[in-house]
Amino acid sequence: MIVSNNFEEKYISLRKKENRLYTDEQVKWLPEIDLSNPHYKEWELRKESRNKLTKHLSSKKIKLNILEVGCGNGWLCHHLSKIPGSNVAGIDINQTELDQARRVFDHIANIEFFYGGIDSEKIRPEKFDVIIFAASIQYFASLEGIIPAALQRLHPRGEIHILDSPFYKPSELDNARKRSFEYYHSLQFAEMSEHYFHHCIDELDAYNHKILYNPDLFRNRFMKNKNPFPWICIYA
């Protein structure tokens, strides 16, 4: 993620204004959340993504060394740790949410949380079988900057999974940037638009990848409550 001296302070203030900060008890149960929560529908989508991802990884029936980049409060790491034989590491530069992840989930033997980026020396030195970016890739300035770094940490037969993040066609980028700026400006956090990036789907052509779920496919266009974000798998 992009780091600045006061990034975390601004990020946490924004999350609070968006009602995206949760109690330890709520984090323990995510993605299950009360129907009255303003982000209930979003968590329903993330639940669906969680289900698809854990089913995909469980079907491999092998021990998996998993890294989640931008793990936040650790809710997804918690569910990944339930995959038989998994060993899960979560990393983030947001110390506040990382501390919460440790409070809530550090008692689970096969989860570890680390402060820092993907190139941090604090992370276990071995290669990972799976690296996951769940609702986090948009905080990296470019795929060209982060994907090669992730591939360096990946086992030769490993997979990178990108979920719950928007990707755009070239013709959509300008309007997407404008919408993001207007959104942050409306919340009086216009400077946060400098830390939120818009990736073009064509950037994936540089990598050996497959789109496991494409919301734009004809059969998916008319699904009720469909997930609007693609599920992307990049292979080592």
| Tens digit of each residue's pLDDT (9 = 90 or more) over 80-123 | 999 999 999 999 999 999 999 999 999 999 999 999 999 887 78
Domains, the chain: 7-235 (3.40.50.150)
Note the pTM of the prediction, 2 decimals: 0.94
Per-residue confidence (pLDDT) for residue 179, from 0 to 100: 96
Q: Are 138 and 199 in contact (CB under 8 A)?
A: yes
pLDDT tier at 1 (50, 70, 90 boundaries)?
very low
Alpha-carbon distance of 90 to 81, in angstroms, equals 11
Alpha-carbon distance of 19 to 198, in angstroms, equals 23
Q: Which residue has the tokens 């699904």?
A: 223
Per-residue confidence (pLDDT) for residue 219, from 0 to 100: 66
State yes or no: pLDDT of 75 exceeds 90: yes
What phi and psi values does residue 196 have, to the nearest 5 degrees?
-120, 125
Per-residue confidence (pLDDT) for residue 119, from 0 to 100: 85
State yes or no: pLDDT of 2 exceeds 50: no
Per-residue confidence (pLDDT) for residue 125, from 0 to 100: 78
> What's the average model confidence in pLDDT over 27-37?
97
Q: What is the pLDDT of residues 126-181, one digit of tens each?
A: 899 999 999 999 999 999 999 999 999 999 999 999 999 999 999 999 999 999 99
Give the CA count within 13 Å in the CB-facing half-sphere of 199. Answer: 26
More confident residue, 202 or 8: 202
